[in-house]
Amino acid sequence: MPGRDLSPPAPGAHLREPDGARLAEAARVFALLSDTTRLHLLWLLALDESDVGSLADRVAASRTAVSQHLAKLRLAGLVEARREGRHVHYRLTDGHLRRLVMEALSHADHRVSGRAPHD
C-alpha cells in the first residue's frame, strides 16, 4: 500500500490490534507523560535509578514537587521504589516505558533541531 510504513517493529513490540482497554491504558500513560517535569524525571530514570534529592537537583524542582510527581508515577505503576537506609531509590518498571520515553525525546530532538527523521 502506498504510504504505509514498512519499518520493522520495535524489539518486544506486541503486534495485535488494541482493544478499548489497551487504548485507554496507553492514553493514560501519555497523559502522565504530558507534564514536562514528569517526562524529565522519567528520562532520568530511564538512564538509571535515583533518589528524590538527586532527581530534584537535576530537574530544578523542589523535593516536595518531585515527590508528588513520583507518587503519581508510582500509583500509575510506571515507577517503583526501593528503600536503602534513609533513601528511597526510584526506577522505571519496564523496558517498554524506557523505550517510549527515549523515542519520544529523540523525536522531539529531531523536531527542535531540524534534523531529518529516520528509522
CATH architecture of 22-113: Orthogonal Bundle (1.10)
Per-residue pLDDT tens over the stretch 79-93: 999 999 999 999 999
pTM: 0.85
Query: Domain limits of the chain?
Result: 22-113
The 3 state secondary structure assigned to the chain is CCCCCCCCCCCCCCCCCCCHHHHHHHHHHHHHHCCHHHHHHHHHHHHCCEEHHHHHHHHCCCHHHHHHHHHHHHHCCCEEEEEECCEEEEEECCHHHHHHHHHHHHHHHHHHHCCCCCC
Q: Is the pLDDT of residue 5 over 60?
A: no
